[in-house]
Structure 1
Amino acid sequence: MSPENKQQNMKPLTAANKLGIYLPAAPDEFQTGSVSRAELDALRSDPPAWLVELQTDGPFPKDVIARKLGVSIAGLARAGVTDALTTEQIEALLADMPEWLTKERRTQEEVRAEAERIKAKDEARRAATNRPQKLR
Structure 2
Amino acid sequence: MTQHQSAQTMKPATAAKKLGVYLDATPDEFRAGAVSRAELNALQTDPPEWLRDLRRDGPHPRPVVAAKLGVSISGLARGGVTEALTTEQIEALKTENPEWLQKERATQAEVRKEAVRIKEAQAEKAARADTTDQRD
Q: Secondary structure at the match of 1:6?
A: coil
**1:46 to partner: Cα distance:** 1.7
Matches within 5 A, 1:1-136: 2=3, 5-131=5-131, 132-133=134-135
**1:77 to partner: Cα distance:** 0.8
**1:2 to partner: Cα distance:** 2.8
TM-score normalised over the length of structure 2? 0.93
**1:80 to partner: Cα distance:** 1.1
- Take 1:84 and 1:2, find their aligned partners in 2: how far apart are those partners? 44
Count of aligned pairs between the two proteins = 133
**1:108 to partner: Cα distance:** 0.1
- Take 1:87 and 1:33, find their aligned partners in 2: how far apart are those partners? 28
Q: What is the aligned-residue identity percentage? A: 59
**1:102 to partner: Cα distance:** 0.5
- Take 1:6 and 1:106, find their aligned partners in 2: how far apart are those partners? 48
Per-residue CA distance 1:3-22 (angstroms, 9 max, x = gap): 6x321001101100111000
Q: Secondary structure at the match of 2:108?
A: helix
Q: State the Cα RMSD in Å.
A: 1.3
Mark the runs of 5 or more structure 2 residues left unpaired by the alignment: none
Mark the runs of 5 or more structure 1 residues left unpaired by the alignment: none
- Take 2:120 and 2:66, find their aligned partners in 1: how far apart are those partners? 26
Runs of 4+ in 1 over 4 A off after TM superposition: none
TM-score normalised over the length of structure 1? 0.93
